[in-house]
Chains A and B, each alone.
Chain A
Amino acid sequence: EDQVTQSPEALRLQEGESSSLNCSYTVSGLRGLFWYRQDPGKGPEFLFTLYSAGEEKEKERLKATLTKKESFLHITAPKPEDSATYLCAVQGDSNYQLIWGAGTKLIIKP
């Protein structure tokens, strides 16, 4: 059964304190792993898609990496505006649906 687990559920950091969010997945035939950011009262906002183990993508203070079992979202020197819930989802070869994790709520304190 396709499954996505995100950890931790919540993470509080001081501004400038780098850390990583984890997304562990089990899927038959990975077609894509997606990271989204969701702010309160808004829809998920697309960040990255990773397709194969070893792939990395960067955007400002965020860097996503992928292995055969998990993905990390690394946040370098975060700012308060990086506070949000970060969602991970995978798509397998069984169908085109996304399997979603529960998200990690990130709080960056000034």
Chain B
Amino acid sequence: DARVTQTPRHKVTEMGQEVTMRCQPILGHNTVFWYRQTMMQGLELLAYFRNRAPLDDSGMPKDRFSAEMPDATLATLKIQPSEPRDSAVYFCASGYGGAGETQYFGPGTRLLVL
């Protein structure tokens, strides 16, 4: 049963610290999405990649967030420096990327910045 995996599942850090979240997409999927979910805003798209190339990162605060895909099996989302307003659940999703294609979500990383 292929699944998207994310690490860590939970992260508590202090303001100003660097946070790195990792995602392993489903093998064979060529598109990876990073989302943030909060009670107030719901699901927000931060960035997405196709064939490891960034296609859109307009949803990310550029001064502190960065997203990369070092290889086809790993996507990373970094926050540096972190701020309390970054506290949220961060989801990674993967898919085949075509029109009407389904996105499959990981379990999320729950981030709390104190």
User: Which residues from chain A sit less than 8 Å from chain B, CB to CB?
Assistant: 31-32, 34, 36, 41-46, 49, 51, 87, 91, 93, 95-98, 100-103
Contacts and interface: CB of A to CB of B under 8 A. Distances in A.
A75 B105 CA distance: 23
A43 B56 CA distance: 22
Contacts of A49: 100, 102
Nearest to B4: A43
A49 B98 CA distance: 13
Given A43-B91, A44-B105, A45-B105, A31 B42 contact: no
B103 A98 contact: yes
Interface string B29-54: 00100000000001101001000000
Interface string B66-109: 00000000000000000000000001010001111111111110
A100 B43 contact: yes
Contacts, number: 50
Question: Which residue, B93, B98, B102, has most C-beta atoms of chain A within 10 A?
Answer: B102
| Interface of A (DSSP majority class) | loop
A95 B91 contact: no
A87 B55 CA distance: 25
Given A42-B107, A43-B93, 11 more contacts: A31-B100, A32-B100, A32-B101, A34-B103, A36-B105, A43-B108, A46-B105, A96-B97, A100-B43, A101-B42, A102-B42
19 contacts: A32-B100, A32-B101, A36-B105, A43-B91, A43-B93, A43-B105, A44-B91, A44-B105, A46-B103, A49-B100, A51-B100, A87-B43, A91-B100, A96-B97, A97-B45, A97-B48, A98-B45, A100-B42, A102-B42
A102 B31 CA distance: 24
Closest 7 CB pairs of A and B: A32-B100, A43-B105, A31-B99, A100-B43, A31-B100, A44-B105, A102-B42
A27 B11 CA distance: 37
Contacts of A102: 42
Nearest to B92: A43
